[in-house]
Structure 1
């Protein structure tokens, strides 16, 4: 009987966590689900951006010339 009660409670908690994840929004964007994440992720190239080039002196990078 204890295991059955624990299983029921676990299922209820899982349902509640899923409900919160599905409904949590900020600025009309779903925060905790992948509903909006897959729509909003873009690469730098897709956004028309070029990566920055960083030149580090050999003395700082640990390599020896």
Structure 2
């Protein structure tokens, strides 16, 4: 493998590590928030989809 290939691999590894760190922070932040039961989450999701569909003129 040449030098350019090694640099690309290092750069990708850095990006991967940054993404993992960002996800860890997001999960930690979410754990501190209020927990929503599964059924309530479904209701909220359906309502959000309906609002966005209406806003974009999509029926369904």
TM-score bracket, normalised by the shorter chain, equals: 0.3 to 0.5
- The alignment's TM-score, normalised by the length of structure 1, stands at 0.40
Q: Which has the higher contact order (CA 8 A, sep 6+)?
A: 1
- The alignment's TM-score, normalised by the length of structure 2, stands at 0.43
Higher share in helix: 2
Which protein has the larger Cα radius of gyration, Structure 1 or Structure 2? 1
